[in-house]
Every structure is written in structure tokens, then in C-alpha cells.
A and B are shown apart, each in its own frame.
Chain A
Amino acid sequence: MRRWWIWIVAGLLPLQALALSGEEVMKKSQAAFLYPGKDFKARVMMKLINKDGQERLRELTMLRKNAGGPGGDQKYFMYFFQPADVKDMTFMIHKYPARDDDRWLFVPAINMVKRIAAQDKRSSFVGSDFTYEDVSGRDIEDDNHIIERQEKVGNRDCYVVKSTPKGTDADFGHKVTWVDTANFLPLKEEQYDKRGNRYKLFTADEVTDIKGFPTAIKRTMKNLQTGHRTEVAYIKTDYDLGIEDSLFSERYLRQPPRKWID
């Protein structure tokens, strides 16, 4: 009898070792989605579409540099092309996983660099349906993550991970993320409000390989309760360009170098 029991355990062991926890899946997903490469650059075309189909365009160049590995500090630099009233505006974020970001805004009309108060990571990014957290990531430790099941999105196998905030400060009740089992990109995410109603839907609409990094170059965030949605297209996406640390400074906020913002 004893021997039979050992065989059962031995049979299960490799499975246990291979299986990932919800937290590990989300960590790998964060690394694949928000941290690929040492640095990153894209021209971002953001279309804000209301339920009547009226469109507004936000066009910017986004640059990112990682200070350490996945989950570590990051610096973001953004230069706005459109709309016309924010042309030449630049925006910089120093992102720290465990505490609030530092943010600076350069207002060209009065040639002034201002620090921006930024404790609310759940606030909208430039008026879109994406929050700052959707753009630059939410701390993994802020939520409990449980793998609920595996299922396909299109023809891709995905882990379905339910993430529930540990604290009460989040504006959502929980979210469910479909994470590609092969490349760990989030292909779909549903955010639920505190009453348990689905209110936001993220989809990665087109994924392509850039310098070996699978990248969601088209993505949509839809507010299911208002019908407003934001469609994002990354063009001229590139990784590992050797962006210097000095770019993320007041000097270049005021005078962004052409080679980086083009």
C-alpha cells in the first residue's frame, strides 16, 4: 500500500513543479508587457471614441527606460504632437513600484516645468479609457492573483487569472486577465466594479514580434458602462535603442531631442 502512495506523489510532482501560481503568471505577464528590452520607443496614436462615434486623437511619442529588471524602477518620457493645444508638451514619469510616481509636465505656452501631484494611479491617462496603471503597470503585490482556469483567446492558450485588490483604495472590485501561456502577454482583461458588474474591457488586438519581443501594437480599452472606448496603435515601435539616462531630465523636457521624439 505504501509503495502505491509514493507512486501517486511521484506522478504528481512534475506537475506541481511546472504549474505556476497566479502571482507568478502576473509577474511574467508584467515582464512581457511592460518591461521588455532595456528601453522602448513608440509613436502612440490614441483614438478616443464616444458612444456616438465622435473621435478625438491623441498622438505622442512614448519612451521608456528600465532601471533594473522586471518589477523595478522605470522612467517614461512623452512628447505630444496632438491635439494642437498640447503640441510640444512633454511629460515625464519616474515610476517606483512600491511608492507614488514622480511626474513632471512641461507647459510650452509659458515655458514652465511643473511637478504634478500623482497619488492617483487609477486616474485617466490624457482623458482616455486607459489609466496610468493601465499604461505603466500596477504593482503585483497590490492584488491577490488566482489562476481560475485555462482557455483559448482566438487560437492562443491562456491562463485566466483573477486579481482582487488587497486594499480598499482601488476603484475596481476585481479583474480577470487572459494571459498567453506561451509569451505571457495579456490578450484580454475584464475589470469589474465593486458591485461585481463588468465595466472595462481590454483587448490586445494585434500582436507582432519586434526585435524578438512580442508586442501588442494594437489594443483597445472599452468602458462597457458608458460605451466610450480608446483604440491605441503603436507605430515605429522599437527596443534597445540605447536611450541615455540624461534624456529623463528637465533639460530635455524643455527641449526634447529630435532623434528621440521623431
Chain B
Amino acid sequence: MPGIRSIAVALFAFAALAPPGTSAEVTLSGFLQQNTASNTVTANPDGRNYKWLEERAQLKLDATGDAWRVLLKGEVAYDHLGRQDEGELREGYVDYAARSWDLRAGRQVITWGLGDLVFVNDVFPKDHEALFAGRPLEYLKRGVDALKLGAYPGFASFELVLARFRESRTPDAQRFWLFDPMPSVANRDRVKPDEGDAGLRIYRDIAGYDAALYLYRGYQRTPSLRPNSMIAPTRITYFYPKLSVYGASLSGRAGAGVLSLEAALYDSRQDRSGNDFTVPNSQTRMLAGYQVQPVEDLTLNFQYYAERMHDYGAYRAALPAGFPVEKRVNHYLTARATQLLQHQTLRLSVYASYNPSNGDYFVNPELRYSFTDRLWGAVGGNLFGGKPWGQFGQLSRNDNVYLQVRREF
């Protein structure tokens, strides 16, 4: 368990090296958690009946001085479904803050953009498996090992991220029924980029609106598949195509609610002509969201999201026969309703995403209750449907209900 070992080392190093008399405030906290997700339609490809079944413990150390801070968040888990080595450094970084700049070095979670489970400018790695397996929301994001520099010269704020590439986690084919264009090829390998990636976010207030520009140069976070032969493939290589993203966002008050607008150009640097069917073509992504609170403790959030493929003709021409054909434009509508009750200790929420172009849908209802200030539990479900190769349609046999219970200390 490298994560846990590095936390232990860091803890000892901190205890040993922290100069006596420094005005650091050290807090230790954490939680114990049980998380179960049970299939409601059919067993997993591996024959098991659970998408997730584990006990997990987190230990968090937070040491804060005047200009610096050290945060270590490590977890160990016991997985009942046979995964080994479930120790992980979720976050572990050092912060330094000067008057007009700051720095964060280490493993950290970075979230850009405004979307609710829709990602336009959030180019950082995610854990899609966590989302579909009924894990708490924080597991949707994976940390990256990065150096983040902030500069605040007054006219705008700048955030520069230099990171080691880390991929998004996709659902495990042992646990999830997934679309596979070449199911007979068992020999598969994975090639990760050797180089890192870089992002820059520039943001400021413009007439009461939060405005931001985003630039990213790196790689797709989810892999593409390349067979060694189209006629008689014997090996498939997973790889992460080169990608640059240029985007912008704006959010602010509009009428009674909050309006969010976001757009980005996905420049597929490895296939600018669109002739390589294994690499996603360049895209334009757009998002418009509107959030209102019609009555006390009820929040509604609606989103319209569209993805438009560039060089569609080249894509169609290059696509081999028998492969599912993607649409030039994909539209998604999402809605979330959140109702807080009982002095905000009971939360009912429903998230639904629907793609009218191909019938893809994903629905996630959840009920969460805080029994005390330190003990909460949630029950919910994940429902999928649509075309067998669609983003959510391919998951249609993976419907599950889940339980999360967490005791914080």
C-alpha cells in the first residue's frame, strides 16, 4: 500500500521536522464508512451481485501555519469483491500563500467549470466507476500530482497547473456490462503518456458575472482502443490521444436564479483531419444551466448540454463497417431537484440526464439523512438506459441500489 506508507512517512517527517514553537495548528480527523451497491437487474460479468461492497477508513491530517498548510488525506479499504491493495493517498499537498500569489504542490483535486455531472472545461481526471457504483460524490474526482500556481495581480486571477498525467477511472469490465466493439480479443495492453499536462485558468468579475477562460494542453482522460489489425485483430492497445481544450465560462444572476454558460473547443491534436476512427474527432461543447430556489430549501437545476463533432464527413468515411455510428450533434438535458427537510438534516435529491438524440438516460435518486452531527447515511439508486453503445445505454444492465453510511471522528 504505497499510499498509506507515504502518509505514514510524511506524518513522521512532519512530527520530526516541524520546528518547535512554530505556530502550527494540527488537526487529525477522519471517518469510517460502509458502502454497498447491489445489482437490481442482473449479476456482474464476473457473476457477483454487488457493484461495490467495502468498508473504508480515512485519516486526515491538517497542519496550518500562517502562510503554509500541509494536508494529508489517506484511505484504506477492505473490498469484499476481491480488489487488492485498496490503500490510497486521496490528497497530500503543501500550500504556501504570499500576498499576491500562492502555490500548492502535491496530490490535489482540481475542478474547473460549472457543470453538474456534465464536463465542458473540467479537464481533470474523474472516477466514472465511483459515480455509477453508488459511492459518495467526493469520489467522482481523482487527485492529480501537480504543481498549482496562483497569481492575483488585481485585474484578474491566474491559476497555472502543471501535472503528471493521470487518467480517469472507467468502470471495471469485471463489474460492469460495457459496450465492447471487439469482445473476442482478450490480449489488451495500455499505454499511458510519458509527458505531463498543463492547464491555465484566468478568471475575474465582469459586471457582476464570474467570467473565466480555460486553456489545457494534454491528453484525453478516457482511453481510445486501437486494434493491431482490422481484419483479424489479436491485440488491442488502450491509449490516451493528445488533446488541447480552449474554453470559457460565465455565471451570474439572471432573473430569480443563477445562469451558467460554458463552451469549449476540443482540439484533437492526434487526429485533426478526423480520418483516424480510433481517435475522437475535435469537438465543440456547450452548456447552459439555470438554478432556482422556488421555495425554501428546494433547489432546481436544469442544464442543456451539446457536443458537436467536427469533420463529421471524414469520421463517417473512416469508420469501418459494423461499428456504431455516432451522431454529429449530441444533445443532453439534465435536471436536478434537491429538497432539504427537518432542519436540513434530511436531503432528497434526484438527478436525471436524457439524450433526446439517442434515448440515453441516467437517473440517480438519493435520500440522505444525518442521524447526528457525526453519523450520516444515504440510500439511492442508479438507473441507466438507451442504445447498447450509448454513454448510459451500454450500462443498462448495471442498474443498482446503494447504501452509504459514514461515521466521522
A interface list, Cβ under 8 A from B: 48, 50, 56-57, 82-85, 87, 100, 102, 109-112, 114-120, 122-124, 126-128, 171, 228, 246, 249-251, 255, 257-259, 262
Contacts and interface: CB of A to CB of B under 8 A. Distances in A.
A227 B278 CA distance: 64
Contacts of A171: 296
Which secondary structure dominates chain B's binding surface?
strand
A77 to B, nearest CB: 16
B66 A110 contact: no
Given A115-B251, A118-B293, A123-B297, A109 B138 contact: yes
A115 B343 contact: no
Contacts of B408: 83-85
Given A123-B296, A127-B343, A251-B152, A83 B291 contact: no
B84 interface: no
Nearest to A115: B258
A128 B25 contact: no
Contact of A83 (B114, B252, B257, B370): B370
Nearest to B122: A112
B168 to A, nearest CB: 14
B111 A124 contact: no
Contacts of A82: 373
Contacts of B150: 251
B257 A119 contact: yes
A233 B340 CA distance: 25
A255 B97 contact: yes
B109 A117 contact: no
A111 B401 CA distance: 27
Nearest to B376: A85
Given A83-B374, A117-B256, A250-B210, 17 more contacts: A56-B345, A83-B373, A85-B406, A110-B141, A114-B114, A115-B251, A117-B258, A117-B291, A117-B292, A123-B296, A123-B297, A127-B340, A127-B345, A249-B157, A255-B95, A258-B66, A258-B69
A228 B343 contact: yes
B249 to A, nearest CB: 11
Interface in B279-317: 291-293, 295-297, 299
B379 interface: no
Interface in B232-260: 251-253, 256-258, 260
Contacts of B208: 102
Contacts of B69: 255, 258
Contacts of A262: 25
22 contacts: A82-B373, A85-B408, A100-B256, A102-B252, A109-B136, A110-B138, A114-B114, A115-B210, A115-B291, A118-B293, A119-B293, A120-B295, A120-B296, A123-B293, A123-B297, A124-B296, A127-B345, A171-B296, A250-B210, A251-B157, A255-B102, A262-B25
Interface residues of B, number: 52
B343 A102 contact: no
A249 B292 CA distance: 23
Contact of A116 (B152, B258, B296, B376): B258
B111 A110 contact: yes
B160 interface: no
A110 B251 contact: no
A129 B341 CA distance: 13
A117 B140 contact: no
Interface string B144-170: 000000101000010000000000000
B143 to A, nearest CB: 9
B206 to A, nearest CB: 14
Contacts of B357: none
